[in-house]
Amino acid sequence: MPEREIGVAMSKGHLDIQTVIPHEKFAGAGIRFVEKAKRTTCLEKGIAYSDALWKQFWQSFRNTWLKTYGPSVWNLYGLDADMISRTNNLLERFNREMNAALTAPHPSLPSFVAIIESLSRRYVDRIEDMLKCRAKKRRRHDA
């Protein structure tokens, strides 16, 4: 696939949209929406659109990310905003939470393991609650 066409696909408002489309709409309307956005941008920029290559891409995408793993693994639609990382790096968010949970600069090994376990359980519980529609969405207060 030509580099300029990949650049369009990777730009904001194209492939990244996949992460926020409702799960039940993704396979049909969601993919068509993303395709139309890419096609339109390529046309506006005078970039040839590779129909056959995109058809292969979507087939591979469907097999891997819709059938094998499912959207609940990678799609953020419907998740509590507090569960979603506000950085581009999930490790940065985890590091912030770890630092907030650590009460001493050098905790003992049992204390460290207990903190990790507590954080992990909290995340798993919140994800399960959201998937079962038991969690209440928290209101964000913008400063």
103: left (phi over 0), alpha (psi -120 to 50) or beta: alpha
Mean pLDDT, residues 77-87:
63
- DSSP letters, 29-65, are IIHHHHHHHHHHHHHHHT----HHHHHHHHHHHIIII
Token duo for residue 122: 């909290």
pTM for the model: 0.53
Q: What's the pLDDT tens digit per position in 35-64?
A: 899 999 999 999 998 989 989 988 998 888
Residues 13-22 pLDDT 10s: 888 877 778 8
Q: How confident is the model at residue 143 (pLDDT cuts 50, 70, 90)?
A: very low
CB-based contact 37:13 (threshold 8 Å): yes
User: How high is the pLDDT of residue 137?
Assistant: 54
pLDDT at residue 76, as a whole number: 73
Domain boundaries, the chain: 3-74, 81-131
Task: Identify which of 110, 102, 93, 8 has the alpha carbon closest to the alpha carbon of residue 50.
Answer: 8
118-139 pLDDT, tens digit each: 988 888 887 777 777 765 555 5
- Residue whose C-alpha is closest to residue 90's, from 121, 119, 131: 119
